[in-house]
């Protein structure tokens, strides 16, 4: 009887080349929807201004039955636990060429019009300040796509977000929300968005501005 062999750490060159080839093809494919360079630059500047505005909360993709609530960080900054919904919203907005100002963001937050959750359970609805759920219009899955990030946005920390350094939370906010740090793959092929060769290929196409790299993913390194 044959025994299950361990997966090799390095695939045969001909297989690795196929993955690299797909990554390059998808990164440059006209079938891959993505924001314009102008929209990407605008959103990067918008998010920089958002971080600098102390009266605007930062979305943090780490939640425990508290999506949409407001948590006060020791620094005084307000934090809003969320899922991937704000990222979907930002990506669709940017891809559609919608470029809000910091004043628009403030007004949208006051109207509770930026999605913080795909769903909210009963416990969350009780403690939440923000109740906006991801509408179909802003859900990339409803268009047949899977949203992926170039620079990972997981905090990988069991401590409450109020106990984490503000800079780390800021870095995650930028990576989570920057359309430059996002791309889509067909929903049926969702796992492809996690393959490093594909991520690096998209990165080489989207990060042509060194300043953008620093703003979006450089601070997390």
Task: Read off the pLDDT band of 165 (50, 70, 90).
Answer: very high
Give the separation between CA 124 and CA 117, rounded to whole angstroms: 10
| Within-domain flag for 88 | yes
Q: How many domains does the chain have?
A: 1
Question: Domain of 181?
Answer: 34-220
Contacts of 180 (CB under 8 A, 6+ apart): 35, 40, 43, 44, 206, 207, 212, 216
- What mean pLDDT, rounded, does the chain reach? 92
Q: Mapping DSSP to helix (H, G, I), strand (E, B) and coil, where does residue 22 land?
A: helix
**pLDDT above 60: residue 127:** yes
The backbone torsions φ and ψ at residue 108, rounded to the nearest 5 degrees and listed phi first, read -65, -40
- Residue 210, class by beta-carbon neighbours within 10 Å (0-12 exposed, 13-18 middle, 19+ buried)? exposed
Instruction: Establish if 44 belongs to a structural domain.
Output: yes
pLDDT tens digits, 146-162: 999 999 998 988 899 99
**What whole-number distance in Å separates Cα of residue 173 and Cα of residue 165?**
13
Where residue 107 falls among pLDDT bands split at 50, 70, 90? very high
Q: What is the phi/psi pair of residue 49, to 5°?
A: -70, -35
In a domain? residue 21: no
* pLDDT at 206 exceeding the cut of 90: no
- Asked if the structure places residue 73 within a domain, the reply is yes
Task: State yes or no: pLDDT of 51 exceeds 90.
Answer: yes
Token representation of residue 167? 């800079």
Give a yes or no: residue 125 inside a domain: yes
pLDDT the model gives residue 216:
60
pLDDT of residue 2: 77
Q: Are 169 and 79 in contact (CB under 8 A)?
A: yes
On the question of pLDDT at 217 being above 80, the answer is no
* Unique residue bearing structure tokens 């949203």: 147
Residue 3 has pLDDT above 80, yes or no: yes
159 located within any domain: yes
CA dist 118 and 122 (Å) reads 14
């Amino acid at each position: 009887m044959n025994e299950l062999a361990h997966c090799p750490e390095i695939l045969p060159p001909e297989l690795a080349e196929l993955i690299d080839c797909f990554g390059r093809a998808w990164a440059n494919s006209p079938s891959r929807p993505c924001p314009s360079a102008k929209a990407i630059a605008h959103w990067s500047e918008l998010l920089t201004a958002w971080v600098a505005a102390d009266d605007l909360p930062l979305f943090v993709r780490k939640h425990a039955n508290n999506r949409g609530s407001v948590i006060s960080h020791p620094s005084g900054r307000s934090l809003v636990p969320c899922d991937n919904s704000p990222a979907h919203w930002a990506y669709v907005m940017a891809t559609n060429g919608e470029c809000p100002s910091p004043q628009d963001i403030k007004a949208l937050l006051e109207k509770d019009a930026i999605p913080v959750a795909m769903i909210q359970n009963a416990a969350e609805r009780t403690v939440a300040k923000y109740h906006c759920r991801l509408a179909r219009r802003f859900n990339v899955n409803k268009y047949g796509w899977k949203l992926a990030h170039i620079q990972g946005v997981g905090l990988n920390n069991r401590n409450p977000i109020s106990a984490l350094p503000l800079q780390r939370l800021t870095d995650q906010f930028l990576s989570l929300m920057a359309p430059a740090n996002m791309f889509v793959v067909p929903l049926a092929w969702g796992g492809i968005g996690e393959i490093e060769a594909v991520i690096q290929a998209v990165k080489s196409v989207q990060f042509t501005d060194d300043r953008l790299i620093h703003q979006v993913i450089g601070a997390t390194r």
